[in-house]
A = this chain, B = another copy of it.
Amino acid sequence: MPLENFADRLLAAIDTRNTPLVVGLDPVYDRLPRAISGHRELNDGDDLEAAVDALLEFSTRVLKIVAPLVPAVKINSAFFEPYFSYGVEAFQALVQEATAHGLLVINDAKRADIGNTSERYAAATLIEPPFDSLSEHAAPDAVTVAPYMGSDSVGPFISAAQAHGKGVFVLVRTSNPGAAEIQDVLLQDGTPLYQHVGKLVEKWGAPLIGERGYSSVGAVVGATNPEQLATLRGLLPQTLFLVPGYGAQGASAGDVAKAFNADGRGAIINSSRAILQAHLNPRYANLPWEKAVEAATRAAITEIRSALHAARG
């Protein structure tokens, strides 16, 4: 059986769930429900196992709530790496859990190195572990990759994606303020660097275009600068955009609307804090934590889904 193209799988999941919303699973210990983290407040999380258990308990609960509602989750490795080997185990457990719930998983690891070293990062982030003791572990469906080192640095991720039916999202124009300092620098022909990188991504992705017309090599394009988003949408017709910046980082539904092609396809919109930290709203303060997280997460997702639905037109 040939492996199904990642872009096709993602587009099918977007259709099934009827939303391009992706939940960013970036759990922060001191933003967990106090019922989980509160009793360890005095020692400020210095018990490593207890801290990771709390993150995992919360994240697993969120996964179960969001699984029927969205096509994918994006899990950022940075939120687990400060917990060292326990963090890696928790990250793996969440990938496993999300996959079991039918969610696609994007590993937001922003990796890259010289070619033979990128091969190792691709093995760590995209390929099912070859070890007997991890034979039940699912690998993520896609990974984010940094472009600064060029084709032979990004290439091993793309090769792994092609061989294993996975995806790659290359940073093109990120959502943070400092991005302009490098990504918006003008080249000799008067165009900014991010467009040069975007065109490379479209080229790299050409061999991985699926039946629905999009490549499994996508681009990370922030929504905080909607004009640039619109420009890139026009330049890269076959590239799927992973769009961060919605909500907490300041972009509106109208802003992210520019990420979609005329057919309402071509992008997934990530929201992390607006969903994960919704339970902190005082209106949920009197509920048991499980109920608070469920009600808050559902309400946040419903609101964002509606806004995006209207924006996609």
Contacts and interface: CB of A to CB of B under 8 A. Distances in A.
Contact of A176 (B45, B84, B150, B186): B150
Interface string A177-190: 11111110111101
How many copies of this protein are present in the complex? 2
Max chain B C-beta neighbours (<10 A), residue from A151, A155, A180:
A151
A185 B193 contact: yes
A57 interface: no
Nearest to A123: B82
B131 A152 contact: no
A46 interface: yes
Nearest to A144: B113
A117 interface: yes
Interface stretch (A2-10, A86-94, A259-267, A279-287): A86-94
A36 to B, nearest CB: 18
Contacts of A171: 148-149
A24 to B, nearest CB: 10
Contacts of A46: 130-132
B183 A185 contact: no
Given A110-B112, A132-B46, A92 B84 contact: yes
A50 to B, nearest CB: 10
Contacts of A131: 45-48, 51, 83
Nearest to A51: B131
A26 interface: yes
A200 interface: yes
17 contacts: A76-B113, A78-B111, A83-B131, A84-B88, A84-B129, A85-B86, A85-B92, A88-B88, A114-B176, A148-B171, A149-B178, A150-B177, A150-B179, A150-B180, A150-B183, A154-B178, A188-B190
Interface of A: 26, 44-49, 51, 76, 78-79, 81-89, 92, 108, 110-115, 117-118, 120-121, 123-125, 129-134, 146-155, 171, 174-183, 185-188, 190, 193, 196-197, 200, 244, 249
